[in-house]
Amino acid sequence: DADVTQTPRNRITKTGKRIMLECSQTKGHDRMYWYRQDPGLGLRLIYYSFDVKDINKGEISDGYSVSRQAQAKFSLSLESAIPNQTALYFCATREGSGRTDTQYFGPGTRLTVL
């Protein structure tokens, strides 16, 4: 079984709809991240969380919100989806602080907003 899972894997929705993307991990990591990937732009950080009570905005948090329901679960919400939020979304976990950190990525959710 995958260590970092994301649901759904694909979603098509309409402008104005509320959407939730879910991420679960079995790695036992405290740190979790949400990124979006756009062609030619690489990955950009939306939100990150160091534990259930510690949530922080990334570089492109406008239009998004998150919820850390438990150490293993980190959800990303689009309150009112718009077409320029069409992208590939990745969840990641990190194995700890210090110099040798590594992020582990889920398989991604492809979101299309019509």
Partner 1 sequence: AQSVTQLGSHVSVSEGALVLLRCNYSSSVPPYLFWYVQYPNQGLQLLLKYTSAATLVKGINGFEAEFKKSETSFHLTKPSAHMSDAAEYFCAVRQTGANNLFFGTGTRLTVIP
Residue 60 contacts partner 1 per CB under 8 A: no
> Residue 7 Cβ, how far from partner 1 at the closest point, in Å?
14
**Helices H / strands E in the chain, number of each:** 0, 11
Contact of 6 with 20, CB cutoff 8 Å: no
Q: Give me the residue label for tokens 């990334």.
A: 58
Query: Between residues 18 and 57, which has the closer beta carbon with respect to partner 1?
Result: 57
Query: Between residues 45 and 52, which has the closer beta carbon with respect to partner 1?
Result: 45
Centroid of chain to Cα 103: 13
Residue 53 contacts partner 1 per CB under 8 A: no
Query: Between residues 63 and 104, which has the closer beta carbon with respect to partner 1?
Result: 104
Alpha-carbon span 64 to 70, nearest angstrom: 19
**Binding residues for partner 1 (CB under 8 A):** 4, 33, 35, 40-45, 48, 50, 56, 58, 90, 92, 99-108
